[in-house]
Amino acid sequence: MFFYKEKILSPGQLKRLSDHKYSCESLSILDKFLQPWWDWLVSKIPIWLAPNLITIIGLIINILTTLVLVYYSPDAKAEAPWWAFILCALGLFAYQSLDAIDGKQARRTGTSTPLGELFDHGCDSVSTVFVAISACIAVQLGSYPSWMFFQCFCAITLFYCAHWQAYVSGTLRFGRVDVTEAQFTIMGIHLISAFFGPEIWSIKVTSIGIFELRHLILIMTVVCCSVPLYQLFIDICNGGVGKNGSSVAGTSVLSPVIPLSLVIVPAFIICRKSTEHVYENHPVLYILAFGLVAAKVTNRLVVAHMTRNEMDYFDSSLIGPAMLFLNQYFNFFIAEHIVLWICLIWVCFDLIRYSRQVCLEICDHMRIHLFKIVPSVTPQAIQQTSNKNGTATVSNNRQSRSRKHYH
């Protein structure tokens, strides 16, 4: 299983995962208006289509449409064609819609399992990285690398902290302005860039000529991130549902800050200390590499929450950033952007092999399939089958005796 010598999840973790119940609180403004659309859409989905397959199709669409944008603007400075922005907006809308109906399809087909929740959040962690990158390309933030770094890592940190809060309280909470609202805002940004061109974000909106239209996005990011983060930290510091105010796993409520710090702090240091300006010259590649490391760490936090288990601080995906750090520290002859590509390839491989094995272990434990719905066999069906088999046996015996008597 991709070079894993031992299983990732222990029997105790798998048992606790089987007992896990999804708990969520949402105050989203837009969700209630979108419910009729989601209900209609799921009614058109074939009953045989597995919920996890719906989720992964949405993620693939989102990734591919974003990569089209990255192809035309790898430095987040060049202007992509207008249709690429529309395609990216449609890809994000498709992902959001499919992500919203996978749970409905699971309930519709009677296949709701903890694996579905884990798979959904795992795809969301990857999607967050690509959505943040696409938004930066749409407003050409590559010209402001520090701002782009802040923008992308704000989104990644906010997603991680939401699951950190769930690890502490046992309930995933969404505010009035949350994921759905952010996604529609980014769709709007793509459409504006498509119809008016990305240069519209450079328009000066004050008489003194300092304030650009894109600064509104920075203000929105600061406001929309600071308020939820403040509430999340209040919930975390108020204590968890575990013994003596600990997390669901009985660990310190502050313990998840260490894995996140092991991603963000090296990303910042390597960015600032690079003599070749690896981040400034390759901002999308840099954000993508470190963003997927954060996605892997977030996945492990979700697994720790659902299995009520302690989260390890170090992770194999950190080997990628470590290569960058050592290459920079010892001043090796290898160009930093080459090491960055190696880092991205390793992180992708490590994320895929981890996700694959965790899903396989859960499927094996729960006797389910990841991308296929297996019809459940009810006791009535078993009884009917037994009766039919019994009738067939009696009939065959009678025919056999008749043949013997005839001969």
Q: Which residues are catalytic?
A: 121
- Joined together, the tokens standing for residue 38 give 């989601």
User: Could you give the angle at the alpha carbon of 248 between the alpha carbons of 243 and 254, nearest 5°?
Assistant: 85
Task: Give the N- to C-terminal CA distance of the chain in Å, as an integer.
Answer: 60
Provide the Cα torsion 197, 200, 202, 208; round to 10°: 160
| Residue type for position 240 | G
How far is it, in rounded angstroms, from Cα 275 to Cα 259? 27
Closest CA to 358 of 310, 313, 296, 289: 296
**Rg of the chain, C-alpha, whole Å:** 25
Question: Are 260 and 313 contacting, i.e. CB atoms less than 8 angstroms apart?
Answer: no
Q: Cα dihedral sign for 375, 377, 378, 381?
A: positive
How far is it, in rounded angstroms, from Cα 52 to Cα 103? 9
How far is it, in rounded angstroms, from Cα 257 to Cα 255? 5
Q: Annotate 64-105 with DSSP letters as a single string.
A: HHHHHHHHH-TTS-SPPPHHHHHHHHHHHHHHHHHHHHHHHH
Question: Are 98 and 58 contacting, i.e. CB atoms less than 8 angstroms apart?
Answer: yes
How far is it, in rounded angstroms, from Cα 274 to Cα 335? 11
Strands (E), 235-321: none
Distance of CA 266 to the CA centre of its chain: 22
Packing angle of the helix pair 145-169, 283-306 (nearest 10 deg)? 0
How far is it, in rounded angstroms, from Cα 163 to Cα 302? 7
How far is it, in rounded angstroms, from Cα 381 to Cα 368? 19
Q: Tell the burial category of 407 from Cβ atoms under 10 Å away from its Cβ (0-12, 13-18, 19+).
A: exposed
